[in-house]
Amino acid sequence: MLLVVDVGNTQTHFGTFDGERLVEHWRFASVRTSTADELGAALRSLLELRGVGLADLDASIVSSTVPELAPEWAQVGERYLGHETVVVGPGVKTGMPIRLDNPRELGADRLVNAVAAHAQVGGPCVVVDFGTAITYDAVSAAGEYLGGIIAPGVEISLEALTSRGAKLPKIDIAEPRQLIGKSTVDAIRSGIIYGFASAVDGIVSRLRGELGAETPTIATGGLARAIVPHTTQIDETDDLLTLTGLRLIHERNV
């Protein structure tokens, strides 16, 4: 069984694959000060909820946007799983040329998403990841990573708004009751949901202007479900895109 781990700035999403079948997946908060022992204990506890033991994991692969946690997860493999964990980064085979001025700048999660999306559609594509930041990644028909766009994420923007606006309350991200808010809370929700949906549509439309009008666009990330229903340019949402990409990259490094 293969363990795949996507370490994001806010959440860590991990799962187990039996061949190409995703057996189960979980999310927990990413804590930058976590040690390998703490991560190993959390991993064991969550796996045991589904009757899976650490000994059932034959291999593992990790992508991390948190530099402090990548080596800790590598130690989890050595200390608790009995094998060397593949950490996505320089030297790992992805099968995707990176057409950036400095390929080392590319976040591992963005590359993993691009690999999964291209494998899924078999041609040019765009990935929109709703995480701590909203990232847009463009892939060519030949399977090359062309580059992307990074914008502030939904939660970052909402925190900035309520911290700078003394009279603006903190709110949860939920469906607006209507476009024109009848209360401050409704007005903020409408601005966040429809504002980000419009921004996403605008950027994807511009990307399709360069890549082709029919370029498939896939959304992923924790807040995709809140924003995507209000967009017109997203073709599908895949919450498991990053985990699938990790599986594909692991297969290319066996």
List domains and CATH numbers for the chain: 2-87 (3.30.420.40), 104-244 (3.30.420.40)
Residue among 244, 218, 236, 237 at smallest CA distance from 21: 244
Q: Please state, rounded to an integer, the average pLDDT across all residues of the chain.
A: 95
For the question of whether the overall pTM of this predicted structure is more than 0.85, the answer is yes
Query: What's the pLDDT at 70?
Result: 96
| Percentage of the chain exceeding pLDDT 70 | 100
Q: How confident is the model at residue 215 (pLDDT cuts 50, 70, 90)?
A: very high
Catalytic residue among 109, 129, 137, 238: 109
Task: Write the DSSP assignment of 124-187 as a string of letters.
Answer: -EEEEEESSEEEEEEE-TTS-EEEEEEEE-HHHHHHHHHHH-TTPPP------SSSS-SSHHHH
For residue 254, the model assigns a pLDDT of 87
Name the band, by pLDDT with cuts 50, 70 and 90, for residue 245: very high
In this prediction, residue 139 carries a pLDDT of 98
State yes or no: is 109 an active-site residue.
Answer: yes
Mean pLDDT of 48-67: 94
Range with lowest mean pLDDT among 71-85, 129-143, 156-170: 156-170
Residue-wise burial string across 102-118, b where 16 or more C-beta atoms lie within 10 A, e elsewhere: eeeebbbbbbbbbbbbb
pLDDT of residue 21: 96
Confidence tier at 50 by pLDDT (50, 70, 90): confident
